[in-house]
Structure 1
Amino acid sequence: MEWDDLVFEEIELFDGALEVIEAFDFRQKKTATITAGARCLLAPLDRSKGGTVLKNAYGHPFAEKSLTGMMAHWHKQAGIPEGYTLHGLRRTFGTYLAECNIQARAIIEAMGHSSMTVTDEYVREANKKRMAVDIARAINEREAKRDAMKQRAALRVVK
């Protein structure tokens, strides 16, 4: 990621309103919108010289392998269990979008996918979770109704 890749885009929201977002436009055509948390982290960094945003201790851009190694080091420092990867974070983001019921086309754009294959996987998994929640909710509602029926007082015939 380089500071020159930081762009401001005006987008139209679903309700028709326009909003300007700040995002990194990657060479692989994968656009990463900057979240409020990331914006706070990037704010104090010097943008005047341009160049790479995330640099190693020598001031050079991270190689993919060294960034993966640093991710493991950062996890250890933060007390996060081993096994979390950059790719895992990316998959989590795709899954989160699908679970938020974002349209598949929007997920493709956000993730930079070239086809629906991986996006379909996210959507299928989110739909499975939704169905499981709906089933559990229906069962709980039925059980609650049945319990309520049992708690009613028995009818007595009074003469």
Structure 2
Amino acid sequence: MIDLNHHISNYLYHCKNHKTLSPHSLKAYSIDLRQFIEFMKATNGELNRDNLSDFIAEMHKKYKPKSAKRKIASVKAFCNYLFFEGIVDNDPFARIQLRFKEPFVLPKTIPLSVISTLFEKMYGDLHKETNTSKQRNRIIRDIAVLELLFATGVRVSELCSLKAEDVDLLYGTVKINGKGSKERVVYIGNHEVIAALKKYKQLKDTSAGNSPQVFFFENTYHHPMSEQSVRHVIDNYTEKAGISQHLTPHMFRHSFATLLMEEGVDTRYIQKLLGHSSIVTTQIYTHVATSQQKEILTVKHPRNKLNLK
């Protein structure tokens, strides 16, 4: 019987320092593996096929397919590590056949009209004469956050970890460090977005003085803006604008991709913009674009212009 606590700690250290996983992935691995330890306490403690099969069945019983798949994959990767390091003689997952049936769910997007309403509210609030200096500064930052989310399709974790030098407003580029330390550069082609980011950067430079700036979006303690703060910004303006739809940071990413797809942008180019390692992941947006076809063809098909008697 092996000491799971000890080896999981070593494995998480390995993931952090050798596999260079993101903090988000490390947190998920840690949660999943600690849960696995709790499950194993109720067994004989042996890392064998029977116990792993029971664990898999338990995950399928407790969680939705996507969550169960992730938790099982975390344990499988840990077992592979144990075998590779020679801690166990055989990979206990080797003779277990995994089958997952995930429901096909289209990504949730935000209609362009709703995005317009949201931005109109933010810019409208910015120009209120009753704003205090602090309120105005906060709105300038909030506008920059949402403009950059929508302009680049960046993940919220990537947005919060952007370094000050990653955003080049002279050339209109944003260098994004994505999953698996994969780097990509996204261009900002809209002058209004550039102007909003410049206004925020000018404000940030003035308030920072001689203090070093590490992150592009920082709080008052010069720590990176948290993902929860980004969600709060969205929730705040969604409520102010009277928008009934619940909006999330990731929906801006989905909308970015879907709207580009509807404009005829090549799927492989969108794949690069999003930082997807496989085009299969990107192709889900073709389903969303296809769902608009009925409306488009009903309203805009040239056959409607034929007035036959």
Would you call these one fold, judging by a TM-score over 0.5? Answer: yes
Deviations 1:62-115 (A, max 9, x none): 222232123212333444445111111110000011001011111101111111
Q: Letter of the aligned partner of 1:41 in structure 2?
A: A
Quote the residue 1:140 is aligned against: 304
Alignment of 1:99 with 2:275, yes or no, is no
Alignment of 1:42 with 2:177, yes or no, is no
Quote the residue 1:6 is aligned against: 167
Deviation at 1:4, TM superposition (A): 1.2
Kept in 1, the 8 Å contact 2:231–2:248? The answer is yes
Helix, strand or coil for the counterpart of 2:270? helix
Stretch moving more, 128-137 or 82-91: 128-137
Kept in 2, the 8 Å contact 1:31–1:112? The answer is no
Alignment of 1:33 with 2:184, yes or no, is no
Unpaired segments ≥5 residues, structure 2: 1-161, 206-211
Deviating runs (4+, > 4 A) in structure 1? Answer: none
Alignment of 1:22 with 2:177, yes or no, is no
Query: Structure 1-normalised TM-score?
Result: 0.67
Task: Considering fraction of residues, name the structure with more strand.
Answer: 1
Q: Letter of the aligned partner of 2:173 in structure 1?
A: A
Helix, strand or coil for the counterpart of 2:283? helix
Query: Structure 2-normalised TM-score?
Result: 0.38
> In the superposition, relative to structure 1, how do residues 62 and 82 fare at CA in structure 2: closer, same or farther (>3 Å)?
farther
Stretch moving more, 76-85 or 23-32: 76-85
Higher relative contact order (CA 8 A, sep 6+): 2
2:163 & 2:279 partners in 1: Cα distance? Answer: 28
- Count of aligned residue pairs for this structure pair: 134
Deviations 1:37-83 (A, max 9, x none): 22111213247644222223544312222321232123334444451
Q: Letter of the aligned partner of 1:71 in structure 2?
A: I
> In the superposition, relative to structure 1, how do residues 54 and 78 fare at CA in structure 2: closer, same or farther (>3 Å)?
farther
User: What is the aligned counterpart of 2:238 among 56, 59, 75?
Assistant: 75
User: What is the aligned counterpart of 2:252 among 89, 95, 98?
Assistant: 89
Percent identity reads 22
